[in-house]
Structure 1
């Protein structure tokens, strides 16, 4: 078996419960990809079954099996996520029977980028409060149920008739817990019928929640300077922002006391402005000035405080006539950009005459709005890469649908 495993980032955050590392697993066709996270659970970031270079998994192969380097399996991410997402380990056979064959005659490999997150479980008996906390991180709710799935949990002192029903599921539990807790550093959830309704009358229930913590960053920039945010290969998701002053010490050096004593100064449009300039980008620069945010407290020396986290950006490329399949597991899709057309001569060019791939300034003007309409805010979607969906931006050219997106906590 030939398997490559390369550590990309061995430590992202030392705080317990946060994202711990990100890996790339590369497995040659005909073998099994084995992913494991020890005490954590798998978070699949991206995956491709195909070939994007001529060297990987090429040993002993004739050159004609490794020269095609624009081979993408459009359903790879959804299949790997289905088999691995949220599990502590998984085995994925790297075969055409699992993924279908995206490039006949080419010897392929499965490349998976994933991270390991520590999964927490909270169990709270009916009538009490569930308290979730992530310290410096923010909560990502993986699953939740208000009901009963065994006869022993929260059974002390209860008559048998209240604990024997073990197929009791509250259908709206996950959405309710996510609404109250998702993206927050801590939350309190009352475990009562008034919050979740009663999925099994007469049964004594409990609330079981599985969740992970995501790294949250804070940027503080004094007035008159530039705030610089960066996420490397990820994209920025702005969580909170304020241009003003909420304490007397931050950005106070060399300032007279009358410029720093007002500590209830909030810029009401700060979050929308920072999100507009930074949201979904890998980096951004924000001038910390009144001209950008207006002045929420005249005479006070202000600063810009931003809380954000980094999300991995995915790219989906689907050849004309096929279906683009986007999936986000427990998150929802946020579409960053999309184009149905052609911007290079090599993508989706196999077996095509030269005349169908030479036009490289082909842009579908309505692509982004159409993909957003079909996919934005959903956990998964299917988009046919066809002229009937997008119309034809360049007649006679063989096109492809390229989508950039990230997954966001709802």
Structure 2
């Protein structure tokens, strides 16, 4: 275990950029059924090249007769562009060689799909249908969209209180150029995640907009445009942040080396930048906050109206007239629900404890950042252990007990015990017991936290940092 000031962390981060951008090669032999999977633990996929055909007589040659390996100059034109369209900007991408096999480039030859890609540290987020996607960069930088898809490709994103029928179709997501067309080259940009903008790839399915982008300095050098990673970090290896107040002096943190390497690159671009999510109120829309790395820290939240332009489409002027409308306590409620989590979804009805301005069209707008914290889950019946280096003390960011997904703590558990994903509840008990200590152990049990969902197998989710007193 080592201790670093944030500035030292950034120096290390700059030195590992080459490792972050290292390339991966995936080869899938063609038999009609095989699936190629590209994935990034951190960052998003950037496809460099893709080949469908054959370039040697050894790859995918097992049990193949020599006459089917003879042509080593066989390739299908357009394969790279097709794989880039399907995968660039995503954290995971699966495709079958049949997807790219628009024709047969060499009849009688045994072919394969080979993709070379890297994981690029881009800003990645999903915006639920009916909400506004907000892309923004620091002053002097401009947006460059890596990829954008509208639709649905999983059953875990933007599902809060949605009926199963609206989230089961995971084959309807389609790439769209509209975000790039509208936002590239701008310092900030807002676009609505709606069918009216992107069309409806799957009627009856509740959809979301998935976007990956970077903030870069403007350039007229075409060679630099080929190396966005160098451009992004060439000028920006400075940062300071405090968990109490954005922009305040640097704080000392302690990370395990493995945690350091995971978070270092994201610290440069994320720790001192904020994200803004706006969700128009119609009773059904879902607001989603998420962090690729680190955990959510809510800075402010507004339920009401502060201007006459946001969420104004189709609204009469009288419903936009009051621009000083806000519900007290919204920020505190969002912080309780979302601080310390990697993902947080909620409906504006969750915060609508009363109507702050009757007759006025309202929206929920949240400003947050992703803060590098130690994050883990402990299954029910086990002990959660929080510990810091000597001289450092624990500060809990957030803790929830219950269940909010069907993938955590499920080993050999019957389906009935892991299906209730709406039972997780924030708890102050971990903070009360552990804050200010150098190490702390707490049992993930109903006897400590109560039972938010009888019959469901639960887990304790904790996010904390180690800081100097």
Same topology, TM > 0.5: no
Point out the structure with max Rg over C-alpha: 1
Q: Answer 1 or 2: which has greater helix percent.
A: 2
Shorter chain as denominator, the TM-score bin is 0.3 to 0.5
